[in-house]
A and B are shown apart, each in its own frame.
Chain A
Amino acid sequence: MDRQEQIENLLDHYEHPRFREANEGADVIMPGGNPGCGDVITIYLSIADDEASVSEVGFEGEGCTISQAAASILMEMAHDEHWTLGEIDEIDYTTMIDILGKEAVQMRPKCATLALGTLKAAVKKYRRDKMRRDAGLDTIEEEDDESAKSLGIVTGAAALQETKE
């Protein structure tokens, strides 16, 4: 795609977002906030019975065009390509920027990668919750993902607090 096609694709996802729906029954509900424009999104992630791949995804959010379009594009890929949790671990931020269109989003990398950082945090929370359940412990709702923080992405309850100031 050339830059104009990249922009058209982003605008299409922004104006007609895919999987933009809340699912309160999801296995993980992960808020993510910040990058660039004061963006915030919440990802709803459900895991298949194999406990290793995505079954359902959804998101809600507010913010700049790129952040919201990126969330839609990411959700569509994760759903349609039946991503495994391992694949979500492996996809890096550079790849995400390439998927969206480097020429269109490279000046706003934090907006472009908010959804991915939040999805990765959701996967980590799923695993932590599962480990705690397997060990007979309660799950922890209000936790942040430190690895996403290094990218300027705040996830978990802190994301909602920060974006409401």
Chain B
Amino acid sequence: MADEVASKGYVNPDLLVSTEWVAQHLNDPSIRIVESDEDVLLYEIGHIPGAVKVDWHTDLQDPLVRDFIGPKEFTALMNQLGIGDDTTVVFYGDKNNWWAAYAYWFFRYMGNDNVKVMDGGRKKWEAEGRPLTREASVYPPANYTPKPMNSELRVLRDGVLAHIGYHGVKKVEDGGALVDVRSPGEYSGELLHMPDYPQEGALRGGHIPGAKNIPWARAVAEDGTFKTAAELRDLYQGAGITEDQDIVVYCRIGERSSHSWFVLHELLGYPNVRNYDGSWTEWGNVIGVPIER
């Protein structure tokens, strides 16, 4: 059948696969399907046959320093999941693929570029009545070779300050493009978290100066799949975010902004897009950084 993804006009259509594509590759040894969810036990309830689990918190975060695991731990994770140099990883998950996009972005950041996302995520797979299993998937350890990191995909706090034209707390020049993908209430400072979520994590509300508010959800259709390239271009260009810009995206803890990063950098092919994963939980707590409301 004609692939649902191919018809949507993305610049890099091979980075997104349909549920049907995944269904046809369940027994392909060169494919490793990875589920990454917010609901920490969803994988155990049932997952795509053959899929392994990556928990964004316990697998990808350093337990001591607030940062990601390093190259050594990442290599060990790849080996443990049976992901070798020739393995193509396909991510999917709950919540419109937030954490799948987060894991995808992190894998890319760590230099593993052989990755894709399943359009529509777990929601679409379930809606189509496709099979789920509780059988744990175990693969022989792989022999992954560490790759050079794609450091240009991530930006830290000081980099954001420089990006918005600040030296310390003083604005010294015009800033670059900045996209706040949180809900309008979070952007305005009315909420310190997304609707439905606890008021946790930040002592100040508002947004980083100069940020435009383009909530992540505007990039997805009702069934959880990404909108077409034409719709996505209209969305971002209509808000003044264009491919010639140096762009930073952020949210509260980096997962929703990974989703928008995936749209801009991967689907639309904007060349310079960085994810500020420290996001509002860092910015809203740092002493002395500028905030707008």
Contacts and interface: CB of A to CB of B under 8 A. Distances in A.
A165 B195 contact: yes
Q: Which of B42, B197, B199 has the most CB of A within 10 A?
A: B197
A152 B198 contact: yes
Interface stretch (A22-30, A35-43, A90-98, A138-146): A35-43
- Among B41, B44, B55, B58, the one with the most A-chain Cβ atoms within 10 Å of its Cβ is B41
A46 interface: no
A33 B166 CA distance: 39
Nearest to A111: B40
Nearest to A152: B198
B244 interface: no
A149 to B, nearest CB: 8
Interface string A139-162: 000000000000011100000001
A152 B264 CA distance: 33
B189 to A, nearest CB: 16
A17 to B, nearest CB: 13
B38 interface: yes
Interface residues of B, number: 17
B45 A14 contact: yes
B67 interface: no
A64 B39 CA distance: 5
Given A11-B45, A15-B45, A65-B45, A108 B196 contact: no
Given A107-B57, A107-B58, A11 B41 contact: yes
**Mostly helix, strand, loop or mixed at chain A's interface?**
helix
A38 B195 CA distance: 8
B200 interface: yes
A66 interface: yes
A7 interface: yes
Contact of A66 (B40, B58, B195, B199): B40
A53 interface: no
Nearest to B41: A65
Contacts of B44: 7, 11, 65
Contacts of B45: 11, 14-15, 65
Given A107-B57, A107-B58, A7 B41 contact: yes
B41 A66 contact: yes
Nearest to B199: A152
A38 B197 contact: yes
A50 B200 CA distance: 39
5 contacts: A7-B41, A7-B44, A65-B42, A110-B198, A162-B196
Closest A-B pairs by Cβ, 8 of them: A152-B198, A38-B196, A165-B195, A65-B41, A64-B39, A34-B198, A163-B196, A107-B57
